[in-house]
Amino acid sequence: MKNVLIVYAAPEPKSLNGAMLAAAISTLKGGGMNVEISDLYGMDFKAVLDARDFPDRRDTVVFDPAAEQMHAIATGTIAPDIAAEIEKVRRADLLIIQFPIWWTSMPAILKGWFDRVFAPGFVVNLQKGQVYGNGLLRGKKAMVVVTAGSSAELYSPAGPHGDLHQHLRALTHNLLEFCGLEVLQTHVVYGAVGIAPEDADREIERYVDRLLAL
């Protein structure tokens, strides 16, 4: 495993997420990894999948997003910003998906990245049944890294929010595993809102240890 893509969706560089990103870059590069970053807020990434993504439409009368994505992948005519992200994913052996939990889910900008970049024809082929174990991203790994404002107790199976890992299953299983990725255990920082500096330092150290264990 040599090439890592970090897809990062947090808006404030001086946040705990920003510190974790910096630690990840330093740790992975120090371990001899090639690291690419898709800082979605920093890139002002366009989050909406729409007809503008397809300069060479298959059907100019009725817009069918999935059909246009498959056509664009097959013909190499997808929008340049999407094409650049697809090439990053192609190069990566490991994808790290990092974001703060908002309303028990991912920020909209990250959902938009998946909507636009994880295009049928690139990540799956439904006609040929190339999904899950046969997904087109098989052979690659993914790890989800999140910060949650609430405590581990609130996000426990018996807590009022429910099990955070089950909430994230739509991402880890129905999206990442669906595309053939081997999904590693999710790394969670609970109680991130108002975290004390010494606790933040401990969480960063814990994250670094996790990365070194890869």
Catalytic annotation, residues: 149, 155, 161
Q: Which segments of the chain does DSSP mark as H helices, in order?
A: 16-30, 65-75, 80-91, 108-117, 164-167, 169-171, 197-213
Q: How far is CA 86 from CA 80, 139, 167, 176, in A?
A: 10, 16, 26, 15
* Helix and strand element counts for the chain (H, E): 7, 6
Identify whether the C-beta of residue 160 lies closer than 8 Å to the C-beta of residue 154. yes
Q: Which residue in this structure is represented by tokens 């097959």?
A: 74
What single-letter amino acid sits at 114?
Answer: F
List of residues 6+ apart from 31 with CB closer than 8 A: 211, 212
Q: How far is CA 162 from CA 98, 150, 171, in A?
A: 21, 11, 16
List of residues 6+ apart from 120 with CB closer than 8 A: 66, 69, 70, 73, 126
Please give the helix or strand (H or E) that residue 91 lies within, else none: helix 80-91
Identify whether the C-beta of residue 174 lies closer than 8 Å to the C-beta of residue 135. no
